[in-house]
Amino acid sequence: MQEVFDRLSEKDKRLYAGVEALKLPYGGISYIAQLFSCSRNTIRRGINELKVKATIPKKRGRKAGGGRKQVIKKQTAINEVFLSLLKEHTRRRPNG
């Protein structure tokens, strides 16, 4: 658990500590605070964020526009090329 905790961002650390503290009975917050060497207030904040986050709809994890560009936008003549290839390799009369 500590190995995973050390690799998380600050917000994810709060949320993870909050989840683990909620799994335990009375004294869970103190135990997790000692285990992860973090403040009990940090864990309480994580628990509150978990409660609030459950009511807020999810947002995108990444900004819009990232990633690979669409072929149609990169090669504007792709439609004409595709249609010319299609004409060359299809029958004129499918029923005949």
Q: What is the pLDDT along the chain (96 residues), one digit of tens a residue?
A: 888 888 888 888 999 999 999 999 999 999 999 999 999 999 999 999 888 866 666 666 667 777 787 777 777 787 788 888 888 777 666 554
The reply to whether 42 falls in a domain is yes
* Nearest-angstrom CA–CA distance, 4 and 16: 9
Q: What is the pLDDT of residue 69?
A: 78
The CA–CA distances, whole Å, from 9 to 16, 22, 95 equal 10, 20, 63
Torsion-angle region of residue 60: left (phi > 0), alpha (psi -120 to 50) or beta? beta
Domain-embedded: residue 48: yes
Q: State the residue range of the domain holding 26.
A: 2-53
What is the DSSP code (8-state) at residue 37?
T
Q: What is the number of structural domains in the chain?
A: 1
Report pLDDT for 60: 63
pTM above the 0.75 mark? no
Whether 41 is in a domain gets the answer yes
- Residue 22 covered by a domain: yes
